[in-house]
């Protein structure tokens, strides 16, 4: 376990090197590949493999899209980054987490204060600018994390960006499982009063696991309000999650 901590420390140091030294010298395609590779390497170091069911369509002519998923763990953004480099939305508290907060800032994460209407407007503006720069955007509309048995209510703020920009939505359903028994694994679940460092220790001490990701077909926002789109995508994520049982 001590060796794993040393390797993880190296991964964090490498993250700062990649974000603040290497990325500014690369074009957008190079930046995307570099972040995808770092995310995959970090998950591998933690003993987590990614199994994708479906096609996220990274070769599509229009790369800009909104990826939304059920939220279980602080690992979820790394999982999604291995599929498609994206600009994420995160709660304001993440910016204050040790190490991870600085990495998130370096990745241009858009932070939002859930109780502030002005913060929500800034979030929409920041994500719209990312779409205009041909970036994918991603977030977790539940607004909190769960153990992964069910999908919580999808809040509609994030979907305003898709409706306003005619941006297609991809629904992702995540579940962490034991690779041998296929039983759900709860070690990654970032719920209750657990802190980030405690959760990190629990993941490091856990046996290897696999995270399955079901990818939907693109969902067009045309004809939807942000609320009806949120309801549609929530139902899609739940249906996909049930297919993993």
CB under 8 Å to 229, separation ≥6 — which residues? 156, 159, 162, 163, 169, 219, 221
pLDDT digits (tens, 9 = 90+) for 84-131: 999 998 888 888 877 777 777 777 788 887 667 777 788 888 899 999
pLDDT digits (tens, 9 = 90+) for 37-54: 989 989 998 999 999 999
CATH number for the domain whose boundaries are 2-242: 3.40.1130
pLDDT > 90: percent of the chain:
54
Give the count of alpha carbons within 13 A of 198, CB side only.
Answer: 7
- Whole-model pTM: value is 0.89
Quick one: which of 34, 39, 45, 32 has its CA closest to 203? 45
Can you give the residue ranges of every domain in the chain? 2-242
Pairwise CA distance, residues 83 & 199, whole Å: 24
Query: Of 16 and 129, which is predicted with more confidence?
Result: 129
Locus of tokens 């789109």: 229
Alpha-helical segments (H) within the chain: 2-17, 28-45, 76-83, 100-106, 117-132, 157-164, 196-205, 226-242
- How high is the pLDDT of residue 62? 56
Pairwise CA distance, residues 217 & 168, whole Å: 10
Locus of tokens 């070769």: 59
Pairwise CA distance, residues 172 & 150, whole Å: 14
Pairwise CA distance, residues 131 & 161, whole Å: 9
């Amino acid at each position: 376990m001590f060796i794993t901590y040393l390797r993880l420390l190296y991964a964090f140091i490498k993250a700062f090197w990649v974000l603040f030294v290497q990325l500014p010298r690369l074009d957008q395609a190079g930046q995307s590949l570099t972040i995808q590779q770092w995310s995959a390497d970090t998950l591998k170091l933690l003993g987590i493999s990614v199994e994708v069911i479906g096609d996220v369509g990274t070769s599509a002519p229009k790369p800009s899209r909104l990826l939304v998923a059920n939220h279980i763990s602080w690992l979820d953004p790394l999982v999604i980054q291995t599929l498609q480099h994206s600009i994420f939305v995160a709660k304001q508290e993440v910016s204050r987490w040790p190490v991870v907060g600085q990495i998130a800032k370096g990745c241009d994460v858009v932070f939002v204060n859930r109780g502030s209407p002005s913060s929500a407007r800034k979030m929409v503006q920041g994500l719209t600018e990312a779409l205009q720069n041909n970036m994918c955007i991603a977030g977790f509309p539940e607004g909190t994390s769960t153990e992964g048995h069910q999908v919580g209510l999808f809040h509609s703020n994030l979907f305003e960006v898709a409706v306003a920009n005619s941006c297609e939505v991809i629904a992702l359903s995540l579940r962490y499982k034991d690779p041998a028994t296929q039983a759900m694994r709860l070690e990654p679940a970032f719920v209750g009063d657990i802190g980030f460092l405690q959760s990190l220790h629990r993941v490091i001490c856990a046996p290897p696991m696999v995270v399955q990701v079901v990818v939907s077909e693109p969902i067009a926002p045309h004809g939807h309000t942000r609320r009806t789109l949120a309801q549609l995508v929530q139902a899609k994520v739940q249906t996909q999650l049930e297919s993993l049982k």
